[in-house]
Amino acid sequence: MYVAVKGGAAAIEASWRLLAAQRRGDTSVPPLSVVQIREQLPLAVDRVMSEGSLYDPELAALAIKQAGGDLVEAIFLLRAYRTTLPRFGYSLPMDTARMALTRRVSATFKDVPGGQVLGATYDYTQRLLDFALLAEGDGDDAPGPPADAAQALPDHMPRINELMAREGLMEIPQPGAQEPPGDLTRDPLMFPADRPLRLQALARGDEGWLLALGYSTQRGYANSHPFAGEIRRGKVSVEIQADELGFAIDIGEVELTECQMINQFAGNREHPPQFTQGYGLAFGGAERKSMAMALVDRSLRARELGELATSPAQDEEFVLSHADSLEASGFVQHLKLPHYVDFQSELELVRKLRAAHAQEKLAGQAEQGAGQAVTTIQKAA
């Protein structure tokens, strides 16, 4: 006799306890603190803040701890918290030319005003496992003091695109500053979307998705001839205009990585040829993300620039509808949920069709048999 499966609630509670045990691991090992994660896994924290759309290193570190290092799950936790926060308004546009730089490279000019600043990068590390880090103990992996800067960095380092725009070589982006920007966390994304909305969607988009799409444009699926005009990383002040004050006030700073790609020029009879650009921006140290974002931003401008849209990376609905890691992760994994009813419906149909198929085959054989009998009789006659 069958007894219906009960106890979903008890199973869920038991699952919570198992999850906590999985997160904690071997209890003879000291627990990881949120401060340690914030300080020692800064790039994980940065990614969670970027895709979680919330600049709060402490909460991002907490989310990483709670998620056992699953960054997409950590992003989910941060987003679910973010949605409950009140919003006070918009900041003034940030001026990244006034960024306190820790890194700045241009791949288009050998030297630029303000110079090239290599900063912290994995690019030239040779990627050999550093077994010294395996050694237990505190303090022994503390790095030496940073090298002195060859020269003091100026407060204001103009962006290379601006220098080119001055000569007319670079398109000047039209910010549409008069219109309040859309907000895709408040209103559904509808297509076609304008560039500010597209950039919002890309900024909180999944790094892996942008990376793969950006890469596809480099392999002939919508080539946009990119050059890394400038990549810069550093802290920028956030200012808001308080209504009752009438002037801007500084409410703190955020660390950003910005990438400005210089792309394929365009021109026609009316307009002399000009380079175009793609833009990428993410919280913290996020060079891979912001570079990929800039490639995808540029490829999504196909329609605006009168290019033939032939590749996935140029189809804004395809790119933006699938960019959000939470939407993708949730919907892929919802396949774990019971689908007994739908599957039963399919089973019923397949069984019915198979029965009809078998009957038709039988009828066909009988007919064939009857035909053969007739031939025999005719022969006999």
Partner 1 sequence: MMDENYNFSFLDERTKKMIRRAMLKAVAIPGYQVPFGSREMPFAYGWGTGGVQVTASIIGRDDILKVIDQGADDTTNAVNIRRFFARTTGVATTEKTTAASIIQTRHRIPETALKEGQIMVYQVPMPEPLFRLEPHRRETITMHALAEYGLMNVKLYEDIAQLGAISKTYDYPVLVNERYLTSPSPIPKFDNPKMHMNPALQLFGAGREKRIYAIPPYTAVRSLDFEDHPFEVQRWDHACALCGAVDSFLDEMIVDDAGSRLFVCSDSDYCGERRDTGHAGTQQAVKMPDVLARAVAEGAR
Binding site for partner 1 (CB under 8 A): 1-2, 4-9, 11-12, 76, 79-80, 82-84, 185-192, 317-318, 321, 326-327, 329-334, 337-342, 344-349, 352-353, 356
Q: Give the residue with the Cβ less far from partner 1, 142 or 332.
A: 332
Q: Give the number of other CB atoms < 10 A from CB of residue 288.
A: 19
- Minimum Å gap between C-beta 348 and partner 1 is 5
- Minimum Å gap between C-beta 66 and partner 1 is 13
Q: Give the residue with the Cβ less far from partner 1, 208 or 312.
A: 312
C-alpha–C-alpha distance, residues 1 and 196, integer Å: 62
Q: Give the residue with the Cβ less far from partner 1, 5 or 149.
A: 5
How would DSSP label each residue in 45-79? Answer: HHHHHHHHT---HHHHHHHHHHTTT-HHHHHHHHH
- Minimum Å gap between C-beta 333 and partner 1 is 7
What angle (nearest 5°) sits at the alpha carbon of residue 236, between those of residues 260 and 298? 20
Q: Give the number of other CB atoms < 10 A from CB of residue 349.
A: 10
Q: Give the residue with the Cβ less far from partner 1, 16 or 131.
A: 16
Strand partners, 62: none
Query: Tokens 């949120």 appear where?
Result: 34
- Minimum Å gap between C-beta 182 and partner 1 is 11
- Minimum Å gap between C-beta 193 and partner 1 is 10
C-alpha–C-alpha distance, residues 133 and 104, integer Å: 28
- Minimum Å gap between C-beta 204 and partner 1 is 11
C-alpha–C-alpha distance, residues 381 and 377, integer Å: 6
- Minimum Å gap between C-beta 319 and partner 1 is 12
Q: Give the residue with the Cβ less far from partner 1, 76 or 279.
A: 76
Q: Give the residue with the Cβ less far from partner 1, 84 or 151.
A: 84
Q: Give the residue with the Cβ less far from partner 1, 337 or 381.
A: 337
Say whether 255 sits in a helix, a strand or coil.
strand
Which residues are CB-neighbours of 260 under 8 A, at least 6 positions away?
159, 160, 161, 229, 230, 231, 277, 278, 279, 280, 294
Strand partners, 170: 275
- Minimum Å gap between C-beta 42 and partner 1 is 25
Which residues are CB-neighbours of 225 under 8 A, at least 6 positions away?
263, 264
C-alpha–C-alpha distance, residues 300 and 278, integer Å: 9
Q: Give the residue with the Cβ less far from partner 1, 112 or 193.
A: 193
